[in-house]
Amino acid sequence: MGLPRTVARRLVAWCVLPLGVLAANAAIAQAQQASITGRVTAQGSGEPLPESRVVLVGTSLFATTAQDGRYTIRNVPSGTYTVRVLRVGYEEQKKAAQTSGSETLTLDFAMSPVVVKLTEVVTTATGEQRRVEQGNTIGNIDASSVVATTAVSNVQDVLAARTPGVQVTGGSQTGGGGRVRIRGNNSLSLANDPIYIIDGIRMTSNTGSSNLFTGGTQPNRANDINPDEIENIEIVKGPSAATLYGTDAANGVIVITTKKGRAGATRWNGWAEGGALVDNSDYPWNYTIAGHTATATYRECSMPVVAAGGCTPDSLRTYSPFHDPSATPIGTGYRTKFGANVQGGSETLRYFVSGEREDEMSVLKLPTFERQRLDSVGTAIPDNVSRPNDQYKYSFRANLNASLSPKLDVAVSSNLIHVNTRFTQESNATAGIGSQIFGGAGYVNNGTVSGVGTPTPLHGYRAWTPGYTFQESNDQRLNRIIASSNANWRPFSWMQNRANVGIDYTSRVDLNLNLNGQGTPVSATNRLGFKDDTRAGIRNFSFDLGSTENFNPTPTLNSRTTFGAQYVNYQIDQGEALGVQLSPGSQTPNSAAVPSALEASTLSKTFGLFVEELVGYRDRLFATVAVRSDQNSAFGTKFQRVFYPKASLSWLLSDESFFPKPSWLDQFRFRAAYGAAGVQPGSNDALRFFSGVTANLRQADVPGATFTALGNPELKPERTSEFEGGFDTDLAHRRLHLELTYYSKLTKDALIDAILAPSAGAANTVKENIGSVKNAGAELAVNTQLYDSRPVSFDLAVSGSINDNKLVSLGNVPAQVNTTWRAVAGYPLFGFWAQPITGWDDKNGDGILTHSSDPNLNEVFVGPDPIFRGYSSPRYLASFVPGIDLFNHRLRLTSLFDYKGGYKWYNNTERIRCVSRQNCLGLMGADVVNGKLVPRASFEEQAMVVATRDDPSATLDGFFQPASFVRWREFTATWTLPEAWAGRYLRGRSASLNFAARNLHLWTKYRGIDPEIDRLAGTTQTTGANAPGEEFQTLGIPSYFTFRLNIGF
């Protein structure tokens, strides 16, 4: 699937024509011009500072320093200028310069280091800009540093808990994706995920990107990207900042910039990482009360049945394969990674080339008793049965930056990725490992696996043992190429033109194979074998053209005007070949007795135009206004175009003479912004259409058509507008940097999946633009260097955020009622609702709570109506990141403590154990003493069981459990070896040794396994991505312990 020829032709036309016009115009401006050159060094040490950005203020001219700290800005027209130097870790510096004729002016800079290091330049939709000019806060993650020192497996690990207002939850299997939410949920029915931009082009970041049935865990395409290739990640949090990214950007934008080559000698870097995964989750025991009745010598009782006289208890039986070393499927996982990059070049051509291989094997393994069973009959154990969940990745990247002339820079980035992931069925899968291990009896000798020829012992598992579950393989093989080119042309000192064109193409193969005679007998045909082979091509083509003009009407007034166009063309083409009933050894759908084929496509196209005007006054007051207009293929036929406005103000108040400036205050900046952005409807939401079906009529398969969607010709995008205001300040000689931000955003025309009353006999729902959703909150970020000396220093970063979410209106649509959550105006989106358990009273004093329709005997009380029971996602986020440097900064120790609070989590694992499996503590947890039950379960645990099993309300209230937690997310120890040692022992230029641990400890009162387990984290919109998170027969989140060696040559 290549680029459509029509699009390619247009692309050429669009790119070449403006450039041609400009080339003609350029002749006008030919004149003798000067150069500014010099060297940027660190004050005191005189050490050269590469990667410093030297900017001629009020023009498009700039340069970046090479490894020796030198820079040259050419083609400077005669005039008076201010030259500004920006570099991370150093205080911004400005100098005046006057040029005339063709002279070369030399300006050197000695930069003062700052204690708290912040990035001074941010990437925006109109190009790179100084942070201080932005009316918004933009999160910034120094990804290269994070990856080199912490135990992160993917991009979402890099994002987690490092920026206020950003929440990441993940699955528990290796290769699983997570949910990323920025400043809350905006949409009831559309995606709430941010979009991703990588090196200027749109990146595919689908959730639930597979056709595999796992019961939960699904991959997210954002995690294909190798974090080792990323220089930094910027998080554009809301519409006030994301306006110019247009339709789709309302949930935020994650801007990834990959590493680039630096001018200078060739430098090699290599790294090797190895480590282990362990699962320290506190898994529940399974309980069974063994008893008898007058007519049966053995009966499995429960506390309520015993209390009602329906059973006489004999003993409590307690067991779980989790706690039996011979039966547990939890082992030790492994992780390895090794790679290298090389970079260097000259001022005119710089290169960065990188390659890496990464392997991760999860903690899941074939239990010992199953291995012995298979060994005893001489059955070979294939990899997918022995270790059913693993992933390996290759990633190759080549980035070239060329300065073809002083006026024209060109960059080409290419990334080739191969990912091979094996999942196993878990969570909401009848045959999955979770269903079997959480659902087993409270004893080990609970019968045999039936329906499999020769029955084998269940060993405490529910119906099938892991050897059968793991035989069905779920593999994803993925090849992906991301290629982009960027041209930056500055025909005049006042003009900069840029063009980004690129494609992100993914070839995905999903293979679900169950060989004949293998797998679970979950149905009568399952062990006859099947092969489901799905091949998808995901294409994300985008271009972005822009032109920025600087205009300085007076020496104190700078104007920058940018206008541009963006186009995104996204398409998934998927073909599926399914074959059911295979012959022994057969692995192809076409060899099956019942082959079938399916095709599915998704297309979406957006074209946007924007213009932005930024005015700077005396380099301390910056005002921006902008507007973007979008057209989209998913809009209804009666809606053509949407406009998104934007305005922002940034004011360096501390530079004003009237502003008090005590000695402890270094800088104070006020900022405010307003903007709007959108989210497009689903690609076919606006259409009324039918679908082709195959019907069997009178024993013959014939083609037909059935009504699929009612459609809505008025459909338009959701529109979220946001106000953001706050301040940044540097205090105590720049030892402390503080940012405080308030935001309030309102989503209007929110697309609601309005339920069509069933009697309509049509689709379940139809999209309507009728709702509104509000998110408001505050964010705080503090970075401080508490103590700094040569032998020891101590720094601390603290961030926190609070979000209030409310569904303001559902339009004319009634409240939407789901099993666990409701959409009710005036309450948070996706909040938990239930008839509340209002209390309990052990009236007969037997220690066992029971339900009775007689109010005088009833012992568990439930409120009459469902009420709001709590947020289903955290309202409060905080992180606490202390760091200590020892031994002249050679050893650095850091930790990250992650807090999430103000919400509940659905302990669906315990619910099914109590309601269906009948092995939970609240139902079965009672010792038998002298023929009577003495409950281990608290009244609270009993009440939640009685309320859902026996009370007519069947309320789930007890399983919506407070989930606030603090997790010791990361610990790292990085030892930078003396260069002499690196040279002597490793023959390298530099070296560091790193130990990193992730998910070390959890403090919580949550009753389930882990309040971060989210079986729906990686799912698509249609399969529950917006539904509240829940644990449901889901395995725990593992801890990572890794060692990493970094060597520079």
Partner 1 sequence: MRTLRFHRARVARALMLGSTLTLLGAVACDNGLLNAPDPDLISPSDLDSPEGANALRIGALQRWRFATGGDNTNGQESTWLTGGLLADEWATSSTFVQNDELDERRIHLDNGTVTFDFRKLARVRTAVNQALPGMYKWRPTETTSIAELYLARGFAEMQLASDFCNGIPLTDASAATSPTDVKWGDPLPVAQVFQVAIASLDSGLALATATNDSTVKVARALKITKARALLGLGGATNVAAAAALVAGIPTDSIYSHTYAATSGSNAIWGQATSGRRYNVGDNVEGNAHDIQVANNLNFFSSKDPRVPSRYTISSKGDTTKSQDGLIYSRTTTLWGQETPVQVTSGIDARLIEAEAAFVSGNFNTPTTGTLAILNALRAAPHVLGGGVTVAAITPALTDPGDDSSRVAMLFREKAFWTFSRGQRLGDLRRLARQDPYKTWYNVGNLFPSGQHYRGGTYGTDVNLPVPKDEELNNPKFRGCLDRNP
By CB under 8 A, the residues from 612 to 631 that bind partner 1 are 631
16, with CB counted inside 10 A (0-12, 13-18, 19+), is: exposed
Shortest distance, CB of residue 387 to partner 1, whole angstroms? 26
Closest to partner 1 by CB, 769 vs 961, is 769
Q: What token pair was written down for 840? A: 């309990």
Distance CA 718, CA 310 (A): 57
Kindly state whether residue 705 participates in binding partner 1, applying the rule CB under 8 A. yes
CA-nearest of 647, 326, 306 to 461 is 326
Q: % helix / strand / coil in the chain, to the nearest 5? A: 15, 50, 35
Interface with partner 1 by CB under 8 A: which range of 210-218, 292-300, 989-997, 1039-1047? 292-300
Restricting to residues 82-121, name those near partner 1 by CB under 8 A. Answer: none
Q: What are the φ/ψ torsions at residue 799 (nearest 5 degrees)? A: -135, 155
Shortest distance, CB of residue 915 to partner 1, whole angstroms? 7
Distance from chain centroid for Cα 913: 30
One of 585, 704, 826, 978 touching partner 1 (CB under 8 A): 704
Q: What token pair was written down for 615? A: 């005015």
Give a three-class secondary structure readout of 746-793: EEEEEEEEEECCHHHCCCCEEEEEEEEEEEEEEEEEEEEEEEECCCEE
Closest to partner 1 by CB, 167 vs 446, is 446
Kindly state whether residue 336 participates in binding partner 1, applying the rule CB under 8 A. no
Distance CA 758, CA 550 (A): 60
Shortest distance, CB of residue 495 to partner 1, whole angstroms? 7
Closest to partner 1 by CB, 265 vs 594, is 594
Tell me if 284 sits within 8 A of 828, measured CB to CB. Answer: no
Restricting to residues 708-727, name those near partner 1 by CB under 8 A. Answer: 708, 710-714
Tell me if 799 sits within 8 A of 163, measured CB to CB. Answer: yes
Size of the site for partner 1 (CB under 8 A): 125
Closest to partner 1 by CB, 168 vs 924, is 924
Tell me if 871 sits within 8 A of 904, measured CB to CB. Answer: yes
Kindly state whether residue 1034 participates in binding partner 1, applying the rule CB under 8 A. no
Dihedral sign, Cα of residue 383, residue 386, residue 388, residue 394: negative
Q: What token pair was written down for 1004? A: 């919580």
Shortest distance, CB of residue 31 to partner 1, whole angstroms? 8
Q: Where are the alpha helices (DSSP H) in 358-495?
A: 368-376, 383-386, 433-438, 466-469
Kindly state whether residue 455 participates in binding partner 1, applying the rule CB under 8 A. yes
Interface with partner 1 by CB under 8 A: which range of 67-75, 147-155, 582-590, 704-712? 704-712
Tell me if 282 sits within 8 A of 779, measured CB to CB. Answer: no
Closest to partner 1 by CB, 549 vs 655, is 549
Restricting to residues 529-588, name those near partner 1 by CB under 8 A. Answer: 547, 549, 563, 565, 567, 580-581
Interface with partner 1 by CB under 8 A: which range of 19-27, 391-399, 666-674, 792-800? 19-27
Restricting to residues 743-782, name those near partner 1 by CB under 8 A. Answer: 754-762, 764, 766, 768
What is the DSSP track for 38-96? EEEEETTT--B-TT-EEEETTSS-EEE--TTSEEEEEEEPSEEEEEEEE-TTB--EEEE
One of 819, 838, 888, 1023 touching partner 1 (CB under 8 A): 819
What is the DSSP track for 1008-1025? SS-TT--TTTT--GGGTT
Kindly state whether residue 450 participates in binding partner 1, applying the rule CB under 8 A. yes
Closest to partner 1 by CB, 650 vs 684, is 684
Distance CA 623, CA 673 (A): 9
Q: What token pair was written down for 986? A: 């490793």
Shortest distance, CB of residue 463 to partner 1, whole angstroms? 4
What is the x/- site pattern for partner 1, positions 462-491, by CB under 8 A?
xx---------------------------x
Closest to partner 1 by CB, 764 vs 789, is 764
One of 954, 979, 1001, 1023 touching partner 1 (CB under 8 A): 954
Closest to partner 1 by CB, 90 vs 245, is 245
Interface with partner 1 by CB under 8 A: which range of 304-312, 322-330, 338-346, 1039-1047? 304-312
Kindly state whether residue 1031 participates in binding partner 1, applying the rule CB under 8 A. no
Bridge partners (DSSP) listed for residue 750: 771
Side-chain-facing half-sphere of 1024: CA atoms under 13 Å: 19
Closest to partner 1 by CB, 102 vs 916, is 916
Shortest distance, CB of residue 447 to partner 1, whole angstroms? 5
Closest to partner 1 by CB, 401 vs 436, is 436
Closest to partner 1 by CB, 35 vs 602, is 602
Closest to partner 1 by CB, 79 vs 962, is 79
Shortest distance, CB of residue 593 to partner 1, whole angstroms? 8
Q: From start to end of 876-983, where are the E strands? A: 876-886, 891-901, 904-907, 926-929, 932-935, 960-962, 965-976
Distance CA 280, CA 1039 (A): 7
Kindly state whether residue 597 participates in binding partner 1, applying the rule CB under 8 A. no
Q: Which residue carries 């130097």 as its tokens?
A: 85
One of 259, 671, 949, 967 touching partner 1 (CB under 8 A): 949
What is the x/- site pattern for partner 1, positions 629-648, by CB under 8 A?
--xxxx--------------
Closest to partner 1 by CB, 298 vs 658, is 298
Restricting to residues 824-863, name those near partner 1 by CB under 8 A. Answer: 851
Distance CA 433, CA 424 (A): 8
One of 74, 95, 267, 299 touching partner 1 (CB under 8 A): 299
Kindly state whether residue 688 participates in binding partner 1, applying the rule CB under 8 A. yes
Kindly state whether residue 1023 participates in binding partner 1, applying the rule CB under 8 A. no
One of 213, 322, 468, 494 touching partner 1 (CB under 8 A): 494
Kindly state whether residue 698 participates in binding partner 1, applying the rule CB under 8 A. yes
Closest to partner 1 by CB, 387 vs 407, is 407
Cβ atoms < 10 Å from Cβ of 908: 22
Kindly state whether residue 813 participates in binding partner 1, applying the rule CB under 8 A. yes
Distance CA 545, CA 536 (A): 30
Closest to partner 1 by CB, 379 vs 596, is 596
State which H helix or E strand residue 261 sits in: none
Restricting to residues 508-527, name those near partner 1 by CB under 8 A. Answer: 522-525
Distance CA 581, CA 420 (A): 26
Closest to partner 1 by CB, 145 vs 523, is 523
What is the x/- site pattern for partner 1, positions 23-62, by CB under 8 A?
-xxx-xx-x-------------------------------
963, with CB counted inside 10 A (0-12, 13-18, 19+), is: buried
State which H helix or E strand residue 628 sits in: strand 621-632
